Amino acid sequence: MATNTLHADIDNWTLATPAARSPNGVVASQHRLAAQAGAAQLDAGGNAIDAIVATAYALNAVEPWMSGLGGSGFMVIWLAREQRAVALDFQGTLAGDTRLEDYPVDPGLPATPMGFPGVVDNANIEGYRSITVPGAVAGLEHALRRFGTKPRAEVMAPAIALADRGLHVDWFTSLQIGVCARTLARDPISASIYLPGGHPATPESRLRIPQLAGALTEIAEAGAESFYRGALAERIVADLQAGGSRISREDLAAYEVFEYAAMAAEHRGYTLYTPGEASGGLRQREMLAHALDAMPAPPENPTPETWLVYAEALEACWKQHKIRNGVLSAADGENGACTSSMSSVDAEGNMVALTYTLLNRFGSGVTLPATGMLMNDSVSYFDPRPGYPTTMAGGKRINSSNMCPTVAVRDGEARFSVGASGGNLIMPAVTQVAALMMDFDMSLERAVHHPRLDASYRGSVRVDPRFSPETLARLGERFALEIAQQLVFPKLYACVSAVSRDPETGECIGINDPTQPIGGGAAPTPFRLGSLGSDAPAVRP
């Protein structure tokens, strides 16, 4: 088979990241400050749900391009005392007045990240018409009210403090802005924040996002009720409709979170819980079943044949997924994917995996003037052509996602949770980390650092050159290979966040992907802003 080595030898360093360890719980996130905001809830006596909600809100201020108030997602919660796993679906919904004629297909444009046709003026991925009703605030509120222990104001305090301080710009932030500068330039508010002077913000500056701290404070005080039916809702809808969105007050008021028993998949004595068929969970279950059938008894350590089994299993489950969605020639969409994943565990053994997203990096590129919220572009989850399961329709909920937050339980104890960002890359990365831990009893730290491959039935398989020559040769007998090392950008093997807990020792471990320079785990300690960026000049739009 042919081999492509385009990304085989670009960066000249070895990527590794430290793990956080504590007997009192840990949090892992794509930004260390957000993880610390979550871990502070554990330090103050909160549980894993308090921690994950604090982490998610903090990301609005430190990683706004990936997720936030304007996003949607999934959460899986293992409740240790009740011995059950709960899934929360807080995916976005289309405006009730959505019309297919607003999204005429443009054959000259590339497919969206979900593999659907592009439309005229990129209206399904950029600007106000690409926005769905966001579910994030409702989902976080639901989780905290039903399963948390701490008051909302306390849980959100770190996020508000971070938003009030402003976004410290480092080289990684400048990279994220630069990648999306064209889209951000289309929106006057986003351009004024992220493109001061018409150029991407430079490292060692600090950006103020107008109104964001105020919006977070209003949510902390009045909850999701204000966001969906109160004063915040009024300002949100006014901004949306002024920009051309069809989202109405009725659409916001009708939004609801779905809570249900998480979908279970059995694998070598573990039960893996995911949000189910609307997420990447069904593909994960199919991949593991295929791998188990092909490899009933795993060897002591992974072999070239192991990786051939994993690659073939991923190809098979992705083929079925694309058949189900009516998209057999879907584009990767990997470099535009925008998602944040986080995990938490507490000393009692409660464990959470949360993934939520704006979909593309910086979402629609729209920042609402009255709230400072970056908004999603989740209309691109839907097909602009009639007659498909994912075809646009008024009020329709996102029903096909790559997000795959996973909690793994064995002998009644949550052992690890893992999720990732990265669009089509998410499920393969999450499932490989989980499979390495279950098939070969790897530690979380070793599994996250292990070379990965990516396969999604697209005509080739991408592999990390750190694999042995024997493994590369065996895979090359079956597939066209892309030899591509792990990179900070583009992230070719997703960005994993995970925690684990040893029920015998109580030790908890949290780790973020080694390709994410700002990510990390955090052990319980009081939250302090510290000196990060404190001397940087504030950039005010």
pLDDT in tens, 339-393: 899 999 999 999 999 999 999 999 999 999 999 999 999 999 999 999 988 899 9
Number of CB atoms found within 10 A of residue 299's CB:
11
Short-list 281, 342, 278, 279, CA closest to 140: 342
Residue type, 240: L
**DSSP string across 439-498:** HH---HHHHHHS--EE--SSS-EEE-TTS-HHHHHHHHHHS-EEEE---SSS-TT-EEEE
Q: What is the pLDDT of residue 325?
A: 75
| pLDDT tens figures, 24-53 | 999 999 999 999 999 999 999 999 999 999
CB 224 within 8 A of CB 398: no
Note the pLDDT of residue 273: 98
Residue listed under structure tokens 């979170």: 257
pLDDT at res. 529: 85
φ/ψ of residue 373, rounded to 5: -80, 125
- Listed range (8-17, 302-311, 474-483) with the worst mean pLDDT: 8-17
- Is pLDDT of 330 > 70? no
pTM, 2 dp: 0.95
Identify the band that residue 539 occupies on the pLDDT scale cut at 50, 70 and 90.
very low
**What integer is the mean pLDDT of 494-523?**
97
Residue 388: per-residue pLDDT: 87
Q: In this structure, which amino acid lies at residue 154? A: E
d(CA 203, CA 187): 22
How far apart, in whole angstroms, are the C-alpha atoms of residue 408 and residue 417?
6
pLDDT in tens, 454-486: 999 989 999 999 999 999 999 999 999 999 999
CA distance 71 to 120: 24
| Packing angle, helices 304-325 and 426-440, rounded to 10 | 140
- The DSSP code sequence of 209-256 is -TTHHHHHHHHHHH-HHHHHHSHHHHHHHHHHHHTT----HHHHHT--
Which of 112, 274, 339, 371 is flagged as catalytic? Answer: 339
Based on the number of CB atoms within 10 Å of its own CB, is 229 exposed (0-12), middle (13-18) or buried (19 or more)? middle
Residue 339 known to be catalytic: yes
N-term to C-term CA, the chain: 53
- The first and second tokens of residue 468, run together, are 């042995």
Rounded Cα gap, residues 413 and 36, in angstroms: 25
pLDDT for 530 equals 66
Order of all β-strands in the sheet with 3-7: 3-7, 481-484, 461-463, 453-454
Query: 10: pLDDT confidence band, cut at 50, 70 and 90?
Result: confident
Angle between helices 304-325 and 469-478 in degrees, nearest 10: 40
What's the distance, CA 524 to chain centroid?
23
Residues of the chain above pLDDT 90, percent: 87
Show Cβ contacts of residue 484 under 8 Å, excluding neighbours closer than 6 positions. Answer: 6, 7, 8, 462, 463, 464, 465, 492
